[in-house]
């Protein structure tokens, strides 16, 4: 079985995150050889500096956490993050446009970001807590059709995080596409992490990566 640590995007996205906390995040990622650290775009240069000569990648969120920024703003934030050393981008889908039924605008939003990063991994956050089953399937299909390399459940800042039911819907939406699923939000212990991996999830977004790989689930940091 693929080692558990290699599924983890070690995450710190709270608004009060300090430079010292980001340094600790990166140190933990290096120690446990997580797949990546996931940070807000302002911290990409710092994370890249610390992780420069390692295998740990840098992931930046874009349009986070609401997804309600203009497409131009998302594109520029992604460009800046990539310029500063980000390897991957996790962008939030425009949920308001989606709930309005303006699927053309949602598609344009995703496609515009992917067009400026054809060789980098783009994960599209659906924020499934705001969507019913039919909407999760439709959002997954839109993201896949417009360049997403991953579809991702949650920001961790909505009303709920990943659920088994929602992840199954997303996995079923992939079918023959070379697209993967990232589960995030509420993954705090080893058992939960393994449940999602056994379903077929390829990446886990969590601030509790150390607890998950060490089995010490008594010191969880947050719901993300």
- Asked if 207 and 221 count as a contact pair (C-beta separation under 8 A), the reply is yes
Q: What is the pTM of this model?
A: 0.95
Q: Is 200 left (phi over 0), alpha (psi -120 to 50) or beta?
A: left
Taking the C-alpha atoms of residue 64 and residue 173, their distance in angstroms, rounded to an integer, is: 24
pLDDT tens sequence across 1-23: 789 999 999 999 999 999 999 99
Q: CA 182 to CA 32: how far, in whole Å?
A: 19
For the record, the structure tokens of 9 come out as 């995007």
- Active-site residue list: 90, 152, 182
Listing DSSP states for 51-119 in one string gives HTTSS-EEEEEESTTT--S-HHHHHHHHHHHHHTT-SEEEEEP-HHHHHHT-HHHHHHHHHHHHHT-TT
The pLDDT confidence band at residue 175, using thresholds 50, 70 and 90, is confident
CB 65 within 8 A of CB 92: yes
Q: Residue with structure tokens 């302002």?
A: 42
Distant-in-sequence, close-in-space partners of 72: CB < 8 Å, separation ≥ 6 = none
Place of tokens 């558990």: 4
pLDDT, one tens digit per residue, over 100-154 is: 999 999 999 999 999 999 999 999 999 999 999 999 999 999 999 999 999 999 9
């Amino acid at each position: 079985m693929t080692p558990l640590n290699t599924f983890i995007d070690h995450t710190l996205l709270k608004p009060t995150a300090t430079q010292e906390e980001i340094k600790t995040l990166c140190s933990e990622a290096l120690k446990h050889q997580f797949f990546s650290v996931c940070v807000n775009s302002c911290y990409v240069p710092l994370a890249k500096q610390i992780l420069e000569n390692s295998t740990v990648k840098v992931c930046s969120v874009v349009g986070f956490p609401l997804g309600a920024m203009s497409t131009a703003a998302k594109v520029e934030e992604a460009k800046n993050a990539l310029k500063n050393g980000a390897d991957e981008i996790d962008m939030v889908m425009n949920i308001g446009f989606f709930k309005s039924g303006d699927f053309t605008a949602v598609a344009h939003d995703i496609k515009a970001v992917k067009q400026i990063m054809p060789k980098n991994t783009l994960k599209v956050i659906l924020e499934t807590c705001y969507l019913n089953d039919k909407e999760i399937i439709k959002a997954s299909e839109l993201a896949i059709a417009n360049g997403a390399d991953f579809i991702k459940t949650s920001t961790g800042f909505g009303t709920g995080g990943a659920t088994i039911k929602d992840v199954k819907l997303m996995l079923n939406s992939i079918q023959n596409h070379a697209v993967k699923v990232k589960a995030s939000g509420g993954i705090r212990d080893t058992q939960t992490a393994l449940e999602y991996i056994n379903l077929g999830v390829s990446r886990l977004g969590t601030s509790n990566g150390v607890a998950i790989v060490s089995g010490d689930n008594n010191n969880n940091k947050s719901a993300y």
